[in-house]
Chain A
Amino acid sequence: MIEVKDLRKSFEDKTVLYDINATFYEGKTNLIIGQSGSGKTVLMKSIIGLITPEEGQVLYDGRDFLSMGIAQKKSLRTELGMLFQGSALFDNETVLGNVMFPLKMFSNMTYAEMKDRAEFCLERVNLQGADYKYPAEISGGMQKRVAIARAIALNPKYLFCDEPNSGLDPKTSILIDELLWDITHEYNITTIINTHDMNSVLGIGENIVFINKGRNEWVGNKDDIFHSDNEALNNFVFATDLFKRIKQAALLMGK
């Protein structure tokens, strides 16, 4: 479980996050949603330590990340996995090399053991036969799957995904969402997904935190969204005619 308490972040004179409080649960797909520029990426980067907030706490199962020393942070980072928006695969490594990379750096496995583990992870994300291809030689969807395989190679306790569906077609997006949902439940990971894809929100949102103009505006799950009277949330989630109709249909069906 990850708890965020009174998190505040400013860039020069502009405050981006105002006293954010949120809890992200173990074994659940936790979503951070909000419009572009609302502060959700800053929130995620503050949680993982790429940005240092001015105030507040980030507790990883009770361990305050922001007050940790370098050695403690380094140790905790081996428990984190991250899927970046652009996949962030290493260009000079093959698919197999990318997945083996964290194992080479942080495990004492033999080469054969590392290869087995990497192949298992690639199989888990339904990616076979691309082991010796370079990131530039595979599609965007495949790159995302390689990035997921790399993120889970060290059996992380916490998995962070920054807009995992960006740049993907709807069908591949659903596949990635399902994969993240499966992995979260199979390995009991605390997964935090930063997204503004409504299919993801209504598909895998078990715990949703809605950020609006730097403030935590609403917390709930994918079913609660249909009954929410929060205007900003409704304007954001049900912005298109299609989603407005989905909401009407869902309410008529009594969901």
Chain B
Amino acid sequence: MLRNKYWRIFATFVEKLYVIMLFITSCLQTFGEYALFMRKVLTKPDKWKESLKRYVAEISKLGIDSIPLVIVISLFIGAVCAIQMQINFANPLLPSYTVGLATRDILLLEFSSSILCLILAGKVGSNIASEIGTMRVTEQIDALEIMGINSCNFLVLPKIMALLTFIPVLTIFSMCAGLIGGYFVALMGIIPVSQYIYGIQSYFVEWYVWYAIIKSLFFSVVITSVASFYGYYVKGGALEVGKASTNSVVASSVLILLMDVLLTNLLLQ
């Protein structure tokens, strides 16, 4: 009886270990494929002029088209933050300008870089994965390869460069919109306006802005490259394009969160 019980525990352990090993192997394989993909992406373009044109078009599509979404979300989150701070800091021992200060630091330190990039991973990432995935299943990528064009470089590098150069703009827009959102709350009479303005100016650390921008630069590369990777290796039809789009959002979100921990530890220590 006892021997059987130990045997069952051992068998379950081996089974779990096998599943974990399979998962690790699969992760390593995917990482290897991603590294090889990036090696193809990060090469000299076949024709600089055409790549530059695509880069400008991608700035418009991935960057400028995201501005309305970034502003709307940041405006509301800024407002909600200010209200939450007002409720939670309702203590006579804390000065009332703390609401503005805390709202500003939340926006600068976390929202305008990490959370914004998680949102962009959904909007921009799914767009990229479905665009490249559709090109794959409709043989447009094969057509580029037949012509002798490095399709990875031609399609993906302009996207990476476009978001990399435009993400600081989106981050700054998000910070400003968030603070304006808090200001609207102050105008509604929930917080004294003068105290809110004083709060957002108090104890300002310039490095926090750079910290947010540096983080968002890393995240932008994750968003574009991971989405492109999932789109590029789609096999099958429309259903697989949809799956690739979802998988790319999940993978880039997890990577952004992992990288957030690492970068926060590195940059704010």
Contact = CB atoms under 8 A, between A and B. Distances in A.
Most chain A beta-carbon contacts within 10 A, residue among B46, B138, B143: B143
B143 A82 contact: yes
Interface string B245-269: 0000000000000000000000000
B142 A106 contact: no
Contacts of B65: none
B33 interface: no
Most chain A beta-carbon contacts within 10 A, residue among B135, B139, B145, B147: B147
B140 A90 contact: yes
A74 B46 CA distance: 10
Given A104-B47, A104-B50, A105-B50, A86 B139 contact: yes
B193 interface: no
Contacts of B139: 84-86, 88
B147 A84 contact: no
A16 interface: no
A90 B154 CA distance: 13
Contact of A106 (B145, B146, B147): B147
A174 B199 CA distance: 77
B148 interface: yes
B161 interface: no
Contacts of A245: none
B140 A78 contact: no
B47 A84 contact: no
Given A77-B147, A77-B148, A78-B148, A105 B46 contact: yes
Contact count band on B: 10 to 19
A105 B47 contact: yes
Nearest to B53: A104
Given A105-B46, A105-B47, A105-B50, A86 B138 contact: yes
Nearest to A105: B47
Interface residues of A, number: 22
B146 A48 contact: yes
A88 B135 CA distance: 8
A75 B47 CA distance: 14
Interface string A102-115: 10111000000000
A106 B49 CA distance: 12
B105 to A, nearest CB: 42
B149 interface: yes
Given A74-B148, A105-B149, A88 B47 contact: no
Contacts of B149: 105
A102 B148 CA distance: 10
A50 interface: yes
B50 A88 contact: no
A91 interface: yes
B231 to A, nearest CB: 14
B142 A84 contact: yes
A80 interface: yes
Nearest to B150: A74
Nearest to B141: A88
Contacts of B47: 104-105
Contact of A88 (B46, B140, B148): B140
A91 B140 contact: yes
Contacts of A48: 146
A185 interface: no
Contacts of B135: 91
Interface string A69-80: 000011111101
Contacts of B140: 88-91
A36 to B, nearest CB: 17
Given A50-B142, A78-B147, 6 more contacts: A77-B147, A84-B142, A88-B140, A91-B134, A91-B138, A102-B147
11 contacts: A50-B145, A77-B148, A84-B142, A85-B139, A89-B140, A91-B135, A91-B138, A104-B50, A105-B46, A105-B147, A160-B146
- Top 3 nearest A-B pairs (CB, nearest first) are A77-B148, A88-B139, A88-B143
Interface of A: 48, 50, 73-78, 80, 82, 84-86, 88-91, 102, 104-106, 160
